[in-house]
Structure 1
Amino acid sequence: MKKLSKIAAVAALVAGVTVTAQAAEKNWRMATPWSGGPWLERDAQFFADHVGQLSAGNILVKPFPGGTLGGALKVTDTVKSGVAQISHNYINYDYGMDPTTALLAGHSSGLTPEEFMLWMYQGGGIELYEQYRMEKFDVVAFPCSILGTEIFLHSNKPVRTLEDFQGLRLRTSGAWAEIASRLGASTVVMAGADIYTALERGAIDAAEWGSPEMNKPTGFQNVAKYVILPGVHQSGGVLECQINKKAWNGLNEQEQNLLRQAAKLSVFDSWLAASYADLKAYEELANGPNEIVQLDPSFIEAIFEETRKWEDEYAAKNDWFRQVLDSQRGFKEQMKSWPQYRMQIGMAGQ
């Protein structure tokens, strides 16, 4: 927190400097997968604003909606090719190329947003992240937004137990599609824009998408009676900023560090903004006509057991997967003492 305070102080100081009319030395296009919403209009903009302030206007970043600079789900290719110098992206969109992305994006591992930040900045996670992205994808990348805990399901059927999950027609993607299938669900992969209609028409029984803030504007709650919690399939995660290698090598060391610090500030800003927005969004959901359903602890345990088997299988044949998994598991061992001296968030004075 002391480091973040120092960075924020520098940002405030630089923001107070009047930027001259002289053109920026670097004008960068930022590719994103987002058509709108908080990830484009708030989180990507956080990073762009911090870069502009910290560089005193010498580096300007302009975010573009998904599909503008290339395929919305091919942002890594857009950055590698140099069509965009930088991106705001979700690493798990590259899951088909390497499942290690799931560990770095967030999966049913039990890392909360706060734990992700601790692991990234104190537990060696961010070093692994940069090394992995460069070695496997030939781009510079580091976290620049935090993801909140998702809603487990918007569902037309109540789901509490493992038995309820059997044969459930579930829209999902990535690692959770594999694990949910192993647990008995009938998984369907579809674009986000198609979920509402599929739920409304009964083509699927349930869908997972995002946190309360992200799900509210989708209207899923209007066509699916049940809201299933907690989101153990995605208890936390990160979004990333990727930088084209040639563009990165064209920066001096100070500018490279500036971008890393802008990303770190943006992670903190996104955590504050999204966490607070989720409170209001969930309150409206809980006070609305939907029925809130809590997963049975035995089902949660079954999810974690199956996830561990899935992790072990990939770790046995993928060296990068094993490295990241070992780091996260070691961190989780450290975190076991946390509840012994720290109160659960929201429980003080209850």
Structure 2
Amino acid sequence: MKRRSFVTQAGLAGVLASGVAPAVVHAQANLRWRLASSFPKSLDTIFGAADVFTKKVAEMSGGKFQISVHAGGELMPPFGVVDGVQNGTVEMAHTAPYYFFGKDETFALGCAIPFGLNSRQMTAWMYEGNGLKLMRDFYRNFGIISFPGGNTGAQMGGWYRKEIKSLADIKGMKMRIGGFAGRVLERMGGVPQNIPGGEIYQALEKGTIDAAEWVGPYDDQKLGFNKVAPFYVYPAWWEGGPQLDFFINTKAFEALTPEYKAIVEAAAAIAHTDMQAKYDAKNPAALRQLVGSGTKLVRMPKDVMATAFKEAMALYSELSSKNPNWKKVYEDYATFRRDQNLWSRFAEKSFDDFMQSQKL
């Protein structure tokens, strides 16, 4: 079959699968991709990062590289996006990597683990440490290349129908909790539930679950959790700095011109910064409004924090003994975390502690 005839009949998807895509994509003036998000459109912060990314790609390519964004459930289930990227149903996705810890626990290290890195530390590990290299080496097993795609910053510890006063209140509690953190909650006697963001309100309202966490005041207020659960606990020991990712099908990415690859990288970096800026700017006002409407703020009990830390460290040790992928990445992650915490205690923490004790 002649090459021109083959391209005409097979279409882009067939060409990508055949492995002859680079020359074809280089030759075409315009490119169209689809991005599957794990999030609902109503969340302009976390879903919005994909919009920021695609708009920048279009702007920097002079409109030649267009990527359509599809909310969770439009093209595939919110937790089905990695499979969609792997099998080429879509060229890319925007998601929280820890949703997919069931495939391999190492996915969680690309997002957040209990008592892990905060958002600045996570970005530092990715861009200046070994994080991006190690995670990309891991994702290569799934036919994916990753780009940091946002961070929410430290999260709140969730909404509870009944007040949490001690570790005893965790026993038997059914809680929607993001991905990997459920492993630790389970070890503490809780019952984790992995539910997409758009379905949490109904589960909490009906009493199907006793508690739920999502992100923080701005998103949580939009989702209406304060209407069905009065107690808002802080902090989320499981998410000190969760990173979102853009996952791209490796063949699709390698088929891009050098210019388009650079555009993707630059647009992802912009979206990454933009997301946390939005959360940091919007959360204070939302928290004031929530408290003003009757929300009760409760600090996570000390025995809950201490037990969660103990169980998390035990879990990581167990995983290192049986999962070589986890061990390789976690050892580097843990070393970076240790050094970062040593540094931040002298600068960031001491400054923040003083400023938060002042009346401004």
TM-score computed with the length of structure 2 as normaliser: 0.84
The answer on 1:323 being equivalent to 2:328 is: yes
Deviates further, 36-45 or 123-132: 36-45
Letter in 2 for 1:129: M
Alpha-carbon contact 1:43-1:145 (below 8 Å) kept: yes
Q: Tell me the residue number matched to 2:24.
A: none
- Match of 1:233, SS state, is coil
Larger radius of gyration: 2
Q: How many residues align?
A: 327
Q: State the shift of 1:292 in Å.
A: 0.8
Q: Map of 1:1-350 to 2, 5 A cutoff?
A: 25-36=30-41, 37-39=43-45, 42-134=48-140, 136-335=141-340, 336-342=342-348, 343-345=350-352, 347-348=354-355, 350=358
Alpha-carbon contact 1:24-1:60 (below 8 Å) kept: no
| 246 and 201 in structure 1: CA distance in 2 versus 1, 3 angstrom threshold | closer
Alpha-carbon distance between aligned partners in 2 of 1:248 and 1:188, rounded to the nearest angstrom:
34
Alpha-carbon contact 1:34-1:40 (below 8 Å) kept: yes
Alpha-carbon distance between aligned partners in 1 of 2:150 and 2:273, rounded to the nearest angstrom:
8
Alpha-carbon distance between aligned partners in 1 of 2:202 and 2:51, rounded to the nearest angstrom:
30
- Match of 2:79, SS state, is coil
Alpha-carbon contact 2:99-2:180 (below 8 Å) kept: no
Deviation string 1:297-326 (CA, Å, 9 cap, x unpaired) is: 332122111111111111111112112211
Alpha-carbon distance between aligned partners in 1 of 2:289 and 2:320, rounded to the nearest angstrom:
41
TM-score computed with the length of structure 1 as normaliser: 0.86
- Match of 1:337, SS state, is helix
Deviates further, 311-320 or 293-302: 293-302
Q: Tell me the residue number matched to 2:4.
A: none
- Match of 1:73, SS state, is helix
Q: Matched residues, percent identical?
A: 25
Alpha-carbon distance between aligned partners in 1 of 2:199 and 2:150, rounded to the nearest angstrom:
26
| 308 and 60 in structure 1: CA distance in 2 versus 1, 3 angstrom threshold | same
- Match of 2:38, SS state, is coil
Alpha-carbon distance between aligned partners in 2 of 1:152 and 1:244, rounded to the nearest angstrom:
34
Alpha-carbon distance between aligned partners in 2 of 1:30 and 1:345, rounded to the nearest angstrom:
38
Alpha-carbon contact 1:40-1:63 (below 8 Å) kept: no
Q: Which runs of 5+ in 1 are unaligned?
A: 1-22
Alpha-carbon contact 2:98-2:178 (below 8 Å) kept: no
Alpha-carbon distance between aligned partners in 2 of 1:53 and 1:193, rounded to the nearest angstrom:
30
Deviates further, 203-212 or 311-320: 203-212
Q: State the shift of 1:24 in Å.
A: 5.6
Q: State the shift of 1:52 in Å.
A: 1.8
- Match of 1:326, SS state, is helix
- Match of 1:61, SS state, is strand
Letter in 1 for 2:254: N
Deviates further, 97-106 or 278-287: 278-287
Letter in 2 for 1:204: I
Q: State the shift of 1:193 in Å.
A: 4.2
Deviation string 1:174-217 (CA, Å, 9 cap, x unpaired) is: 22222101112133444544433333343332112222222111
| 58 and 272 in structure 1: CA distance in 2 versus 1, 3 angstrom threshold | same
Alpha-carbon distance between aligned partners in 2 of 1:344 and 1:205, rounded to the nearest angstrom:
37
Alpha-carbon contact 1:32-1:40 (below 8 Å) kept: no
Q: Tell me the residue number matched to 1:9.
A: none
Alpha-carbon distance between aligned partners in 1 of 2:54 and 2:117, rounded to the nearest angstrom:
27
Alpha-carbon contact 2:39-2:47 (below 8 Å) kept: no
| 105 and 341 in structure 1: CA distance in 2 versus 1, 3 angstrom threshold | closer
| 170 and 75 in structure 1: CA distance in 2 versus 1, 3 angstrom threshold | same
| 243 and 199 in structure 1: CA distance in 2 versus 1, 3 angstrom threshold | closer
Alpha-carbon distance between aligned partners in 2 of 1:279 and 1:310, rounded to the nearest angstrom:
34
| 88 and 39 in structure 1: CA distance in 2 versus 1, 3 angstrom threshold | farther
Letter in 2 for 1:131: D
